[in-house]
Structure 1
């Protein structure tokens, strides 16, 4: 049975909740990624910051990316998946929350990210198609 830890991208790099959105954008460019988990000073996951969040919620809103903190863009409790959760749970969670990326936690520790691309590489096409339909409803 395929588990989250089998298909995730390990070594997810966090952006600190107190770091600026500008720092986050630079880190995304350096790592060639479109999102970063937001981690608090308590080492707990606070949310996920995406390149789209930066464009829509900061730049398009006329805010200064050097002044806005990454943690200011964290919305509610982060949707996560356990490292030992199976593929069915990954699909259910992504579909139910209409997200394309899931931070993977082991206990309270961030251990990786499962992205839609990871799911597409690891699971049968029909399951991936069903997931795409579920997350694209809005």
Structure 2
């Protein structure tokens, strides 16, 4: 069974700069089949943006979204874990903060993302969430 975050995280996360247009971020999410993108500046984590963030913080406002940038939608200063942190610590943080994803940071630089589904697959692959998370994404 996986003991460390590095064993379950998705490495090489997609990252964008704060001034990236939201439509470009949404396109990357669609094309890569992902639900979260890291926002970085000078190689340092500045935030995390999810598909839900784009919906409730940008689209729900209405108006012209073509001039909106990802920094307007992201959660700044997200809770993070390190790659050598125990998986139980990641789960504890997710429960305590009601989070579905945690950026993984090593020496101040993002190296991955660990999602609730990743932990479910690693800890209980036969659970409903484990099976859903392990299934191929819908196209």
Q: Contact 2:50 / 2:74 at 8 angstroms: preserved in 1?
A: no
Distance 1:64 1:55 in 2: 14
Structure 2 matches for 1:10-21, cutoff 5 A?
10-21=11-22
Structure 1: which 5+ runs fail to align? 130-138
**Does the aligned pair in 1 maintain the 2:37–2:50 contact within 8 Å?**
yes
| Aligned residue-pair number | 126
Q: Distance in 2 between matches of 1:87 and 1:103?
A: 13
Equivalent in the alignment of 1:4: 5
Structure 1 pair 22–123 and aligned structure 2 pair: CA distance change class (3 A)? same
Aligned partner of 1:28 in structure 2 is: 29
User: Mean alpha-carbon deviation: is it higher for 43-52 or for 68-77?
Assistant: 68-77
Q: Distance in 2 between matches of 1:12 and 1:72?
A: 20
1:22-72, Cα deviation, whole Å (9 max, x unpaired) = 1100111111111111112x2111111111111111111114332111112
Partners of 1:37 and 1:92 in 2: CA distance: 22
> What's the counterpart of residue 107 of structure 1?
107
| Partner secondary structure for residue 93 of structure 2 | helix
Question: Normalised by the size of structure 1, how large is the TM-score?
Answer: 0.84
Structure-2 separation of matches of 1:64 and 1:87: 42
Conserved 8 A contact 2:81-2:90: yes
Structure 2, unpaired ranges of 5+: 130-139
Residue 135 (structure 2) aligns with: none
RMSD of aligned Cα (Å) = 1.8
Structure 1 residue ranges (4+ consecutive) displaced by more than 3 angstroms after TM superposition = none
1:66 match? 66
